[in-house]
Structure 1
Amino acid sequence: MALLQPTSLVFTVERQEPELIVPAKPTPHECKLLSDTDDQAGHRFQIRGLHIYRNNACMQGKDPVRVIREALAETLEGPNRKLMVDCSGEGVLFIEGDADVTLEDFGDSLHPPFPCFKELLYELPASIDLLNSPLLQIQVTRFKCGGFIFAHRFNHTMSDAVGLIQFMSTMGEMARGAVAPSIPTNPPLITCAHLEYDHDKAATGTIMPTDNLVHRSFFFGPTQISALKRSIPDNLRCSAFDILTACIWRCRTKALELGPDEDVRFICIVNARSKFDPPLPLGYYGNALGYPAVETTAAKLCQNPLEYAIKLVKEAKGKVTEEGRPNVNTVRSLIVSDLSRARFREVDFGWGKAEFGGPASGEEVISFYIPSKNEEGKEGITVPVCLPAPLMDSFVKEINRMLKDDEATGG
């Protein structure tokens, strides 16, 4: 069964008072306008993620809180850091904590949703809103075993996943003793406008309720992908991404119980850095995303064979090579961000690669593909999904039906 059971672990974190980590050297006080690519409605939310690190004997006597705090100050140094729109030099919100458990207590499979996440990333009530809040917040929590968790929240208008990893990798370089980043800081070069989403013209039809939402994660390894491929013709060439996305899109649409003629969309979030002409400078870490999309009806998606959905997924991926971007909206849409090659786990503060690195959960309209291992140690992709509780039960049943899983279908 693909459904990963959430852990029942409960723990508490003793936190120190939040502090602001300022740049190690003075920076100019100025305001920076966002580019049209950054300043679009689809980026106006905050993303929460974390990195999990085990104890490393080579770092004996080193405090991860101190190491990361100092590395952060060094990383913020320098002119025109696009991290802060109001470049006031006030810094990044930083919290230090100690948990009363070990990483072993989390179990063998590290995946979202994580237990007691609010303990791992305390959010000040005044910092929840998108405006007039820290653009980046970090909490480093030490565990009794010597390991630690680096949790963060960042404003998506500032950066995409590639840019965030670049920023965090620079922190890792400074933590390991570098005197300057390996990638030099360059001011962003904005070369094209971004077309805003079209609003649903009449906002009619079924819109998913956002109350009583539950988060579940699903694991797809070689066994699950092979099971899905048995449902398509042998001569149909497709990637694991193609068939996995087609499966999730179809199962989610069935669970939503839409009207047969209602439009449904698949939106693929892609890294469009290679499409800019002239290219973006090395060191740019703002948003550079494309949103190719395809549209069909609920009836066509659910009643046609799976290869129909696969064909549409391939079509969306192919649109990224075309000039411009389609105007899309998120109503009745499945949005997928493939982070399987995003290298989150490679961020190294001196303790080696992270055991887990990526988003802390799925979002209401976005599913992330996160590289991970299941309880048996098998590698694959974990997909966090966020749905209202009754719809989640239906989604689990549809996934299990696709996988020919006759065991329990619990939600």
Structure 2
Amino acid sequence: MLTPPVDMLKHAKERVYTPTLAYAVRRRDPELIRPAAHTPRETKRLSDIDNQEDLRTHVSLALFYRGAGGQNGVDPAGLIRRALGEALVPYYPLAGRLREVEGQKLVVDCNGEGVLFVEADGDVRLVELEAVGLRPPFPCWDQLLFDVEGSSGVIDCPLLHIQVTRLLCGSFVFALRFNHVICDGIGIAQFMNAIAELTRGLPSPTIAPVWSRELLNARDPPMPSFTHREFDLLLQQPPPAGDMVIRSFTFGASDLDAIKKSLPPLLRDTATTFEALATFLGRARAAALELPPGGNAPLMIIVNIRGVAGTNLPAVGYYGNACVPSTVLVDPAVLLGGSLGDAVALVRRAKATVTSEYARSIIDEMVLLGRRFLCPASMFVLSDARHLGFARVDFGWGEPVYAGPADTAFGVSSFITGKDRDGDGTVVVPVVLPWMAMDRFATEVERLLNPVKPQLF
């Protein structure tokens, strides 16, 4: 999960397609939750992947729970607060603070200062939120995850900020913001599931946390063995001018079928939903931004390397950043005028490129180049959040109605599991674009899907 620099995020939040729904949220004073038992006082070094400039930012997640059928008479905020302190014992680095050392690298001071926790009550019912669509941008999101003063920095700030908001109907919202330096989507989902297991009465989390950040350091000396052409784009193309807008597109089974039917027969039955939809959205975005022919419309695919042979990373347990990018460089003219199947084949090849040696090579390249951003304006970063573990986080009220990112930024989109009004599975994709480009993007999506149209929120 890569995120653009913070200065690119400022404009992306100025203007949003927020559904019409206003309500009040009453919050108690924020508190710091410390580990419930003694933890080691030490300094832990982060990996060279953790130390990317792209990750020095915060990511927000939203999980909505239906009150009916839960733990009758139990306050979710109090239950989660207690379990949070217990979970921080094995995950004690999350209760620490980041410090900067030589070479501007970050380390974790495991001082047990704690994570930020806010208890709140909202004057709204879940059915009202569902009526406007449970997908980004959420109405009054800044109230469901209030930005406590001094909490959103990188150095010497809480690494996690959690707010539990009870709703009028007995449902509740679990909102979390985490510093991307300390873990990726899989890592934070692992921690959230650890909290959830403790709220359900398990004596300890079923997955033991693994630190082992040294496994993802560059070689000494760094020796890139692949040509990472995406780094040639780093200093090109600033973000487009103008206000940004965030809008979620929902793709149902019929939409996905329509996309796959446009592929050649050999790919039609073998292309994954991610491969087909990523390529489809990349084409629509290139058209929306009116990218000139002869340039590049790169699609950056984020690939998890846990369990990949040769990395020595376990398939489960490691909660640091363990994803690397693989980029498809394609001329906008080819993407727009060529076969969608050819582009799908390129995305598939990019995924297959990620071996342990490729991962080592790109880590070496990152260290040689120094801390740089990987998000030129033409690049579209795509990650699949559907299988990270958010949808399994059960605090005792069942699985969440919605679980995934609460927002996104220009140039970055995630695929999120959703449900339509009939309860059937969908794929929700939040997109950020300049205002006028968003209108073109929506039109292009409709045109490419014709006659099937996605729901727009």
Q: 1:345 to 1:408 in 2, by over 3 A?
A: closer
Letter in 2 for 1:323: E
Residue 337 (1) aligns with residue 383 (2)? yes
Residue 42 (1) aligns with residue 73 (2)? no
3-state DSSP of counterpart to 1:139: strand
Whole-Å separation in 2 of the counterparts to 1:179 and 1:409? 43
Letter in 1 for 2:122: A
Aligned to 1:149: 173
Match of 2:418 among 365, 368, 372: 372
Whole-Å separation in 2 of the counterparts to 1:409 and 1:254? 20
3-state DSSP of counterpart to 1:51: strand
Q: 1:210 to 1:338 in 2, by over 3 A?
A: farther
Aligned to 1:14: 26
Residue 60 (1) aligns with residue 106 (2)? no
Match of 1:178 among 181, 194, 202: 202
Aligned to 1:77: 89
Q: 1:410 to 1:188 in 2, by over 3 A?
A: closer
Aligned to 2:286: 253
Give per-residue Cα distances to partners, 1:25-80, cap 9 Å, x unaligned.
12233222211121112222210011111113451110001000000000111485
- Extract structure 1 runs of 4+ deviating beyond 6 A: 195-198, 406-411
Matches within 5 A, 1:69-218: 69-78=81-90, 81=93, 84=96, 85-108=108-131, 109-188=133-212, 190-193=214-217, 199-200=231-232, 203-204=235-236, 206-209=237-240, 211-218=242-249
3-state DSSP of counterpart to 1:386: strand
Structure with a larger share of its residues in helix: 2
Which stretch shows the higher mean deviation, 267-276 or 389-398?
A: 267-276
Structure 1 contact 269–292 (Cα < 8 Å) conserved: yes
Which stretch shows the higher mean deviation, 80-89 or 366-375?
A: 80-89
Structure 1 contact 47–155 (Cα < 8 Å) conserved: yes
Structure 1 contact 160–287 (Cα < 8 Å) conserved: yes
Two-structure CA RMSD over aligned residues (Å): 2.5
Whole-Å separation in 2 of the counterparts to 1:307 and 1:263? 18
Whole-Å separation in 1 of the counterparts to 2:311 and 2:414? 30
3-state DSSP of counterpart to 1:25: coil
Residue 242 (1) aligns with residue 275 (2)? yes
Whole-Å separation in 2 of the counterparts to 1:343 and 1:47? 16
Letter in 2 for 1:29: R
Letter in 2 for 1:375: R
3-state DSSP of counterpart to 2:447: helix
Deviation at 1:380, TM superposition (A): 1.4
Question: Which runs of 5 or more residues in structure 2 are unaligned?
Answer: 1-16, 97-107, 367-373
Match of 1:304 among 317, 324, 338: 338
Whole-Å separation in 2 of the counterparts to 1:274 and 1:361? 29
Give per-residue Cα distances to partners, 1:230-262, cap 9 Å, x unaligned.
333334342222221111001101111122111
Residue 221 (1) aligns with residue 255 (2)? no
TM-score norm. by structure 2 comes to 0.83
Which stretch shows the higher mean deviation, 46-55 or 238-247?
A: 238-247
Deviation at 1:305, TM superposition (A): 2.1
Whole-Å separation in 2 of the counterparts to 1:298 and 1:11? 44
Structure 1 contact 165–344 (Cα < 8 Å) conserved: yes
TM-score norm. by structure 1 comes to 0.91
Whole-Å separation in 1 of the counterparts to 2:396 and 2:257? 38
Q: 1:42 to 1:283 in 2, by over 3 A?
A: same
Give per-residue Cα distances to partners, 1:320-371, cap 9 Å, x unaligned.
2362245693211111111122231111111111111110022222100001
Question: Which runs of 5 or more residues in structure 1 are unaligned?
Answer: none
Letter in 2 for 1:310: V
3-state DSSP of counterpart to 2:202: coil
Q: 1:30 to 1:389 in 2, by over 3 A?
A: same
Give per-residue Cα distances to partners, 1:85-129, cap 9 Å, x unaligned.
121211000001000011011125421111110010001232222
Residue 401 (1) aligns with residue 447 (2)? yes
Aligned to 2:8: none
3-state DSSP of counterpart to 1:291: strand
